[in-house]
């Protein structure tokens, strides 16, 4: 029996707990940093990958991607709306982003996110360094099913950027 193969196999998303407040997420995407950065920051692309399509609907995406600018992503799951929002503190097109991420259910638990987009042989190696305000906040995020949703959204992002090449 022949083994099914994909011409462009997807890269695995790696999540590492680095300390009681930090995680690193890494993945290599099948597109150059310019495309991955745009897909990460432009609302018309973010709405196509940011939430797991298997269980979440994207309701609204807004982003003013500049230092001091803000973003707001609204989703719906089981009829309930939730919002993620924050402010950009660093925007270096195609190489680096830094911002806060706040989940509306926990407004006092801002996560500091720094993302790098590194060119590797025409692909992008993305690393997201997330620092949570407390050990409990990180444990709560992991217990929420975040890792499963993260893997699904990273697969969706990979499919999108591969189609934009």
Residue pLDDT, tens place only, 62-92:
999 999 999 999 999 999 999 999 999 999 9
Look up the domain containing 118 and give its range.
14-164
Residue 1 lies in a domain: no
pLDDT at position 3 is 35
pLDDT in tens, 119-156: 999 999 999 999 999 999 999 989 988 888 999 999 99
Residue 2: inside a domain:
no
Q: Is residue 5 part of a domain?
A: no
The CATH number assigned to the domain holding 86 equals 3.30.530.20
Residue 3 counted as domain residue: no
Instruction: State the pLDDT at residue 11.
Output: 75
Q: What are the CA-CA distances from residue 3 to residues 8, 9, 155 (Å)? A: 15, 14, 22
Residue 9 lies in a domain: no
**Residue 4 domain-assigned (yes or no):** no
Instruction: Give the tens place of pLDDT for each residue, 6-52.
Output: 334 567 999 999 999 999 999 999 999 999 999 999 999 999 999 99
Answer yes or no: are the C-beta atoms of 52 and 144 closer than 8 Å.
no
Residue 5 clears pLDDT 50, i.e. is over it: no
Tell me, yes or no, whether 7 lies in a domain: no
Domain count, the chain: 1
pLDDT in tens, 89-121: 999 999 999 999 999 988 888 999 999 999 999
The pLDDT of residue 6 is 37
Write down the number of H helices and E strands in the chain: 4, 8
3-state secondary structure of 122: coil
Single pTM value for the model: 0.90
| pLDDT the model gives residue 9 | 53
- 6 occurs within a structural domain: no
Q: How far apart are CA 84 and CA 78, in angstroms?
A: 17
């Amino acid at each position: 029996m022949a083994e099914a193969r994909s011409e462009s196999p997807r890269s695995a998303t790696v999540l590492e707990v680095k300390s009681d407040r930090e995680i690193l997420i890494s993945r290599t995407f099948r597109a150059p940093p310019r495309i991955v950065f745009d897909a990460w920051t432009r609302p018309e692309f973010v709405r196509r990958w940011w939430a797991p399509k298997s269980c979440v609907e994207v309701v609204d995406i807004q982003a003013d991607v500049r230092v001091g600018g803000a973003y707001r992503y609204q989703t719906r799951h089981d009829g309930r709306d939730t919002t993620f929002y924050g402010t950009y503190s660093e925007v270096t097109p195609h190489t680096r982003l830094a911002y806060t991420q706040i989940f509306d259910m926990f407004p006092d638990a801002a996560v500091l996110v720094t993302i790098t987009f590194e060119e590797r042989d025409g692909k992008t190696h993305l690393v997201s360094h997330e620092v949570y305000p407390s050990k409990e906040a990180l444990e709560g995020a992991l217990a929420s099913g975040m890792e499963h949703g993260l893997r699904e959204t990273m697969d969706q992002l990979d499919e999108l950027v591969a189609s934009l090449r």
